[in-house]
Structure 1
Amino acid sequence: MPKKILFALTSHDSLGSTGRRTGFYVPEVAHPAAVFRKAGYALDYVSVRGGAAPQDGINPDDGVVADFLADPATQDALATTVTAKEVDAEEYDAIYFAGGHGTMWDFPEAEDLASLTAAIYERGGTVAAVCHGPAGLVNVKLADGSYLVEGKQVSAFTNEEEAAVGLTDVVPFLLESTLAERGAKITKTGNFAEHAVADQRLVTGQNPASAARVAELVVEQLTTR
């Protein structure tokens, strides 16, 4: 069976009542995608509602992002994402939740995506998430009823970082606080600095600067398992 990674993307495109648009943070997909492809993994994409996933955070000066978005196969994949109901957990070595503020609205209540994540994890796969991507983990429960993040080291966009970008009162909840409520052992560094951690086949990163490192840790885990 070919080695495959599944990227999970938000379908939510409005930033609360600010009038601003949001979506998945493209660098948090493009940079890990480059790492995964170099390691020989094929990539697929799932989103909460399927179809075209809204994009955010595109920096025209980021060559990795530019190359990623210029690829016709990638363009087609991002425009035609499937839903979790259409995905077979058996096909994937890992699932990676990309961030972007949109995730805060639709990831936590995406029950099919949570079930798919638990299935990938419980068959021995790796679960990864970066920045606001861990919003997709807050309600993932394993077969024994425990939360996936319970008792594990977890890194995510911090309360301090949310305050620094002025969105503490815009997002529906604070990600760091909610993960802690679920029993996660929060690990973090200074605002917007690279920080990622791997614990029991769960790999998480704090912010966009951590995305490539998360992918590297996933590859390390899959190589040594």
Structure 2
Amino acid sequence: MSAVRPVPVETTVSEEELLATGTSLASAPAEEVLAWAEHRFGARAVIATSFGPEDMVLVDMSRRHARSLRLLTLDTGRLPPETYELMEVVRNRYGVTVETFFPDHERLEALQSEHGHFSFRKSVDARKECCAIRKVEPLRRALAGRLAWVTGLRRDQSSNRADVSVLSVDREHGGLLKLSPLASWTARDVWNYLREHGVPYNPLHDRGYLSIGCAPCTRAVKPFEDERAGRWWWESAEHNECGIHARR
């Protein structure tokens, strides 16, 4: 595990404990990682979900093994209807509250008034500006006051995520802990879990959409393409992130 900065005193997790825990959790089952987060932080640990297949695994798994973990999501205002429908399925099936965070309306109104509804197509910088308003800033608000957040990142999703750790310090969000229990899972592992446990998922996946974000920025993936190739497909692969999982 690479060197990390000390986490905030509020977490009561020392650097020594962080390193030791990171080692023990690196090869632990995902259920154990979630249970550790619940035991250590309770309701101040949150699962950030966009309702993709990995996130649905975590939602289902947390209801079985770590029920006090909270769920949050970002509503960018441009999600496919199928994603909203899945949100309601999750609320009804699992009886959970999904804390929902929206973009700042003044910034969003200014962006669209000045640059149009499809400014993200003009350049990488313009697309990142749109993502910053619709995703990055709302996530900062969503994580304020939390001690840890759980993500569905996997190492084999793309080259940008090849070195994802199960446990790390998230410097971009004030030093809280970031957990990726499915880091070592493959796409096959994810879908085997969903089918074995009858977990609901976005029907767009059955139409070739392997990674789903905002509707204008998502397309079905062609055979043999990377599973994130349908996200911002007009850009080169090294730019294929929205900024939520930015790394320095």
Larger radius of gyration: 2
TM-score (norm 2): 0.27
Greater helix percent: which structure? 2
TM-score (norm 1): 0.29
